[in-house]
Amino acid sequence: MNKNLIVFCALFGLFWGGISFWWDMLQFANVHPNIPRVYNPISGFYEPKTEEIQELIEIEKIKNMDFYSDDSFQKFLDDNHPLSANYEAADIVKINSDFTSNRSSDFKLRKKAAEMFEGMARAFSNAFGFKAKLTINSARRSQKFQRQLASNCSVWRCAKPGTSEHEAGLALDLGVNWWNIKAWSGKYYQWLVDNAHKYWFHNSYQKWMEIDGKIVEPWHWRYVWVELATILHDEEQSFAEYFYENIEPKNL
């Protein structure tokens, strides 16, 4: 076949396909100007946001998360879901931020968590005209250190060795200008509630012992990656609440 003809047909096909696609999109937008469209993971198209599609999206998000592997950013930790014995994350680094009130490099986290924390510390300080800075009181802990800590402390306050988010290299205990963060710290705590999920962090213990298995800890922020941080923020749920509602429902 003539080479020019093949090129012409190919170009025409692309052109016509493009026109048809945009025509369909325009028609849809005209007929449904105010219906938000979302990506349907099953059909692969943007479709009107219905409850069914929203549900599919949530299922898809859950499928992308891993609540059980030691190295997963969504590894769920409590007395029934500990880390493997002697687990140590391989990607632990020093935290490197100019926007903390104490020396951040005295503390360590897993690499991705440390990077996102740097962004969060900068945004926090910026939001308060650089008059307030986050203080790091604790970050990654070794199992040995957690064992010492837990030996003088109730299970409501200190996680058993092997079950701490600090041992996973994902959690920070934060203060502001050297003061511990309390729920009643007002604007500083509220800033974290409103913004930490943008940096993929979550306040793990916020709903008291019956739900989270721990006292309320407004200072304890854990890295959980983007999907989970967004879900927990939008649903106003704690990680344990979400986990036992969706992943391992408890027979109440």
* CA distance linking residue 198 with residue 80, whole number of Å: 29
Structure tokens at 80: 């029934």
Residue 167 in the binding site for Zn ion (CB under 5 A): no
Residue 75 in the binding site for Zn ion (CB under 5 A): no
- φ/ψ (deg, to 5) at 134: -70, 145
Rank residues 167 and 173 by Cβ distance to Zn ion and give the closer one.
173
CB of 212 to Zn ion, least distance (A): 12
Residues 6+ apart with CB under 8 A from 247: 62, 67, 76
Rank residues 65 and 158 by Cβ distance to Zn ion and give the closer one.
158
Binding region for Zn ion (CB under 5 A) out of 27-35, 56-64, 150-158, 166-174? 166-174
Among 214, 220, 222, 233, binds Zn ion (CB under 5 A): 220
Residue 214 in the binding site for Zn ion (CB under 5 A): no
**Helix or strand or coil: residue 42?**
coil
Count of chain residues binding Zn ion (CB under 5 A): 2
Among 118, 167, 173, 212, binds Zn ion (CB under 5 A): 173
* CA distance linking residue 101 with residue 87, whole number of Å: 31
Binding region for Zn ion (CB under 5 A) out of 15-23, 102-110, 144-152, 215-223? 215-223
DSSP category for residue 215: -
Per the CB < 8 A criterion, the answer to whether 196 and 230 are in contact is no
Structure tokens at 50: 């219905």
Q: Tell me the residue number closest to Zn ion, measured at CB.
A: 220
Residues contributing to the site for Zn ion (CB under 5 A): 173, 220
